[in-house]
Structure 1
C-alpha cells in the first residue's frame, strides 16, 4: 500500500466520522440510529489507527533496510 492510498483511506475514514457524527442524536445517543453511528465512528477511528501503524512500520522497515 503506497502513501497516497493510505492518505486517501484516512480521508475517507475522517469523512465517515464526520457523517456519522451528524447522525447521532445527542439527546439519546444510545438508541436507534445513534448506536449505529457510534459504532461507525469507532470503526473509522480503528481504521485510522491501523493505517497509521502500518505507515510507521513501513518507515521503520525502510530505515532498517537502509533505503
Structure 2
C-alpha cells in the first residue's frame, strides 16, 4: 500500500507540473488556463489527501503496538 501511495503522489505531482506549464498568468481565469488552474488545485488536493492517509496509517500502526 505504501508504494501505491507514493506512485499516486508522483502522478499527482506530475499532473501539477504539466498543468503549471499551461498557465497563462495574464489571463489566469480564461479558457485553457482556467482548466489548468482547476487541475493544479485537484492535484494538490490529491497529494494532501494521500499524505493524510499515510499519516493515519502510521498512527494506526503505533496505536496497535501500544495495545500489544
Q: Pick the TM interval, shorter chain.
A: over 0.9
Bigger radius of gyration: 2
TM-score w.r.t. structure 2 length?
Answer: 0.93
Gaps of 5+ in 2: none
Count of matched residue positions in the alignment of Structure 1 and Structure 2: 66
Cα offset, 1:51, TM superposition: 0.3
Measure, in 2, the Cα distance between the counterparts of 1:10 and 1:47: 8
Cα offset, 1:26, TM superposition: 1.3
- Equivalent residue for 1:14? 13
- Equivalent residue for 1:51? 50
Measure, in 1, the Cα distance between the counterparts of 2:50 and 2:18: 20
Superposition misfits of 4+ residues, deviation over 4 angstroms: none
Measure, in 2, the Cα distance between the counterparts of 1:31 and 1:50: 28
- Equivalent residue for 1:65? 64
Cα offset, 1:27, TM superposition: 1.2
